[in-house]
A and B are shown apart, each in its own frame.
Chain A
Amino acid sequence: NAGVTQTPKFRILKIGQSMTLQCTQDMNHNYMYWYRQDPGMGLKLIYYSVGAGITDKGEVPNGYNVSRSTTEDFPLRLELAAPSQTSVYFCASSPYAGTYEQYFGPGTRLTVT
């Protein structure tokens, strides 16, 4: 099992550009998450999904969009990138919420200049 994979590992965007961060899991998990982590801070939840076709906002959803057309994939779309979106982005999955372990991808380091 590859677990949770994320692409790309690194990306530099210019202000106003758009991009999609890819996330795939092969564990048949219902729940998937997107977090961002700014330097010296904890992870902040951007969006999450409880299953294919169902997504919901987390703590910091502005400037992002997601979709969940399959159980495996949960892409994160950045429209009109801004310097405030410079961060490390983590995708995670879990079978259910609550006490269940979340399994993380390796992260994507994004810089917007």
Chain B
Amino acid sequence: AQRVTQPEKLLSVFKGAPVELKCNYSYSGSPELFWYVQYSRQRLQLLLRHISRESIKGFTADLNKGETSFHLKKPFAQEEDSAMYYCALSNKDSNYQLIWGAGTKLIIKP
């Protein structure tokens, strides 16, 4: 079965420190992977997708097919990065519907 695992429910780091939010997936084919973010009192929104290979708000994520991971990284955390982060997987076997991880709450301490 396809699955997305975010092993940390909560991650707390100091402002200016590096951040890495982990995402592991189980799927043997070619996945489409996404990071969505929900800031306090805002809607869930797309942060980035692996196919775009972009950096958004200083965040990057690299697809590692060997380790089946798509970790989200930022070299220097900012207080405004505090939010819930969700990793999601899409592929032809799921009819291209999203399969979601449980989310990681990121808290940036001043």
Interface of A is mostly: loop
Residue pair B86, A58 in contact (C-beta under 8 Å): no
Q: How many chain B residues have a CB neighbour from A under 8 Å? A: 21
Q: Which residue of B lies closest to A58 (CB)?
A: B97
Q: Which B44-58 residues have a C-beta within 8 angstroms of A?
A: 44-46, 49, 51
A26 in the interface, Cβ–Cβ < 8 Å? no
Select which of B96, B97, B101 is within 8 A of A42 by beta carbon.
Answer: B101
Select which of B88, B96, B99 is within 8 A of A98 by beta carbon.
Answer: B96
Given A45-B98, A97-B97, A101-B46, 20 more pairs with CB closer than 8 A: A40-B9, A42-B4, A42-B86, A42-B88, A42-B99, A42-B102, A43-B86, A43-B100, A45-B97, A92-B44, A97-B96, A98-B32, A99-B32, A99-B49, A99-B90, A102-B46, A102-B98, A103-B45, A104-B44, A105-B43
B residues lining the A interface (CB < 8 Å): 4, 9, 32, 43-46, 49, 51, 86, 88, 90, 95-103
